[in-house]
Amino acid sequence: MSSKKNMSKTKIASLVFSSLALILLILNYFLFVSNKNTISVAALTDRENAILSSITDQSFVYDFNTEKEYKEVTVWIERYESGNLAEDKIAELTTEVEGEGSIIFSTSKTNSSSKEMPFSITISNNESVSSIYASDTNSKNLDNMSSVWGNFRGDNISIADEVVLGSICYSNDGRMNSLTAEFYQDVNGHINEIEKYEVVYLLKANFNK
């Protein structure tokens, strides 16, 4: 009798462990699938942040993961003035992509007499690196303004459509707020959020099949 009870307990334990293993396999599958064709704000170490801050004024870093149907990515910067598009492509970089990669955007440290805002866009993928350096020649007086930086919210954002990655907002008013998560999802529908700023730079990306 005792032997039968032990066998029954063994079978139950075996079924429980088998069920747990199956659940873990299913969860891992969906996690793997959910990471494909997405982009996220990179989680940098303190050392990486320290290195970037020593050579740049400000920087954004993003990690993307693509499947074979995506062939290239285009990243560019737009300039808005009081909510109106003033320049649609201050800098633009297009490169081939495959699998995992990163996008790095930064502004360089400048002296106070400079009238240009220098930008850098770098895309790394499959051991290849593409970069572009450009300047906004209409950026005078920005040093005298307050600024706020921000990224899109959430992890593993779909790259099926154009993605607003980040923003830099400048204003003469010291009271400033970061743009909402809704703004990054629908710029045109929330354009009123940047109407109060004298100058806004938006960093955008589009992954092409």
Return the pLDDT at 62.
95
Say whether pLDDT at 208 is over 60: yes
Q: State both tokens at 175.
A: 């009271």
Say whether pLDDT at 33 is over 70: no
Question: pLDDT per residue over 100-129, tens digit each?
Answer: 999 999 987 665 556 678 889 999 998 889
Question: pLDDT per residue over 143-199, tens digit each?
Answer: 788 889 999 988 889 999 999 999 999 998 877 888 999 999 999 999 999 999 999
- Contact (Cβ atoms closer than 8 angstroms) between residue 129 and residue 103: no
Return the pLDDT at 30.
40
Q: What is the DSSP string of 74-129?
A: EEEEEEEETTEEEEEEEEEEEEE--SEEEEEEEE----TT---EEEEEEEEETTEE
Q: In one letter, which amino acid is 173?
A: D
Return the pLDDT at 31.
41
Say whether pLDDT at 61 is over 90: yes
Using pLDDT thresholds of 50, 70 and 90, give the confidence band for residue 139.
Answer: confident
Return the pLDDT at 43.
87
Long-range contacts of 137-145 (CB under 8 A, 24+ apart): 138/79, 138/86, 138/87, 139/115, 139/199, 140/115, 142/117, 142/170, 142/199, 143/112, 144/172, 145/170, 145/171, 145/172, 145/198, 145/199
The torsion region of residue 89 among left (phi > 0), alpha (psi -120 to 50) and beta comes to beta
Picking from 104, 103, 135, 95, the residue whose alpha carbon sits closest to that of residue 119 is 135
Return the pLDDT at 103.
96
Return the pLDDT at 56.
83
